[in-house]
Amino acid sequence: MIANYGYEDGSGFYYITIDSDRCATCESHDCATACPRDVYVIEIDDYDDVVASVASDARKRLRELCAVCKAQNGGGIEGRLLPCTSACPTGAIRHSW
Ligand code: SF4
Ligand code: SF4
């Protein structure tokens, strides 16, 4: 399943997309430990798979929370340059901005 977490406001749109089918094959769950702002949580979904999602208290704050990583890593939209996308072994995470 493709899950989108985030929001839009007057300055743009800020979404993290996670392909939970890929998470179901993941053994490391390194996204959660790689993120310095605790954006990701690891949980069991409706199919009893262990998957990543975006913490509920982070979903409306992504622009703010990710600002330091984005500034240090050139944005990371297409490349796997952010701590979270670099740590993910399956390429399950995409950022929209
Ligand atoms: S590291 Fe990637 S595949 Fe593994 S749980 Fe995190 S987002 Fe999913
Ligand atoms: S860009 Fe940085 S703060 Fe944002 S989710 Fe990825 S690792 Fe966490």
Sequence ranges of the domains in the chain = 2-95
Q: Which fold has domain 2-95?
A: Alpha-Beta Plaits (3.30.70)
Percent of the chain with pLDDT over 70: 93
Report the distance separating Cα 65 and Cα 68, nearest Å: 7
The residue with greater pLDDT, 3 or 73, is: 3
Give this prediction's pTM. Answer: 0.93
Q: pLDDT tens digits, residue range 6-30?
A: 999 999 999 999 999 999 999 999 9
Average pLDDT over residues 55-84: 86
pLDDT over 60 (residue 51): yes
Nearest protein Cα to ligand 2, atom 3: 66
Predicted pLDDT of residue 36: 97
Predicted pLDDT of residue 12: 94
What 3-state class would DSSP assign to 34?
A: helix
User: Probe ligand 2: pick from 64, 81, 82, max atoms within 8 Å of CB?
Assistant: 82
Contact 45, 51 (CB under 8 A): yes
Ligand nearest to the CA of 6: 2
Phi and psi at residue 95, in whole multiples of 5°?
-105, 145
Ligand nearest to the CA of 80: 2
Residue 51 burial by CB count (10 A; 0-12/13-18/19+): exposed, middle or buried? buried
